[in-house]
Amino acid sequence: MAIAIFLQTRPSLPFGEPIVTHPGAGFMMILVASITASTVAVFVLANVLSEFGIGNGFALLNLVELGPALIRSFRRAAGSEEAGPPVFGLWLLGLAVLAFLLIRFVRRAEATNTPAFPQGILVVGWSGSIVWPVTVLLPGPWRDLSMVHCALAVILVVLLSRICFHLFSSRPRLETNIPETPEVLDGLANLLRRRLPLATALLAGGIAMFTLWQWAGPRVVLLTSGGFMSFLVVLATGFDLVGQYRFMKRNGLTASLVQLDNVHFSYRLVERLTEEGIDVLARGHVLRSLYFFFGPLYKIDVLVPAEDLEDARGVLAELKVAREVKVF
């Protein structure tokens, strides 16, 4: 309804033609019905992909959109006269180094069964949405300096990282999400706290790199803070897809144990099942750990070999997680 009202009240196009030629109740009903039907169709398609494909269906649809868009942006930047080959080559080298560091960081986190970014990546998107209104308040000469935009973005990432860490991964949050003893929770909280500075540095470095390129080179799609988020989403989706491919290749027939929204518990459940000698895959938990409980469509499906399903259910029952399974 809000979209319909917005389109009807929006000024005319440059050539004088209105956006909505026949406004009114009829237009609003048709638009609402069309958006609802398309949303249902996407939801059904995503669930079919999740059930019969490899990976989370919503993530796959997201990847179909983000992947080609990133490739088009790189090609457009490479062919632009605003940034010659040396500039683009240096930026591409920096992107390769950043990707290497991110991949290594996520792999180390997976080895300890904890999320790589305990504060999530929403801090990047939030900082990008705050920087532009803030720069409007700056004096004229400072408003267009790329270094000022970059510095503001980095400062906001650092501040928001600390805030989001307490929101998603603090000791009280872990106690809510994981039914374990205080000793286990203390150890996990300390591990996540030690990981926070490096995770913040990687996020700040990434947004600084993309922000500087946006202002120093050609202004192309996805080379802003949103572009860095897209880059991380594509990377995390790749981790999940590779993990599921390897899991299915090892085990053949698999079965779904449980579907989770609880990021920390998904890592803990994987660790407990592994200790019991049960091969397990938490499908999508790398991607979902970037959003924590702000990404409800990216479900974490815990898969085990079909022959180990009953044993896995016993481990799940021992953890007494009825409440945690149902609450983000």
What's the pLDDT tens digit per position in 12-60? Answer: 555 556 666 666 677 678 777 887 888 788 778 777 777 776 667 777 7
Q: Are 198 and 116 in contact (CB under 8 A)?
A: no
What residue numbers bound the domain in which 93 lies?
55-326
* Burial label, 290 (beta-carbon count in 10 A; 0-12, 13-18, 19+): buried
Distance CA(280)–CA(270), nearest Å, equals: 6
- Confirm whether 95 is domain-assigned: yes
- Confirm whether 17 is domain-assigned: no
- Confirm whether 13 is domain-assigned: no
Helix/strand/coil for 151: helix
Name the pTM for this structure: 0.77
Query: Residue 63 is encoded by which pair of tokens?
Result: 């990847």
- Confirm whether 167 is domain-assigned: yes
- Confirm whether 3 is domain-assigned: no
- Confirm whether 305 is domain-assigned: yes
- Confirm whether 16 is domain-assigned: no
Q: Are 63 and 234 in contact (CB under 8 A)?
A: yes
How many separate domains does the chain show? 1
DSSP state of 298: S
Contact residues for 134 (Cβ-Cβ < 8 A; gap 6+)? 152
Question: For residue range 66-100, what is the model confidence (pLDDT) as tens digits?
Answer: 767 666 666 665 555 554 556 666 777 888 888 89
Contact residues for 288 (Cβ-Cβ < 8 A; gap 6+)? 261, 263, 266, 295, 298, 299, 300
What stretches in the chain show pLDDT beneath 50?
83, 142-143, 218-225, 322-328
- Confirm whether 237 is domain-assigned: yes
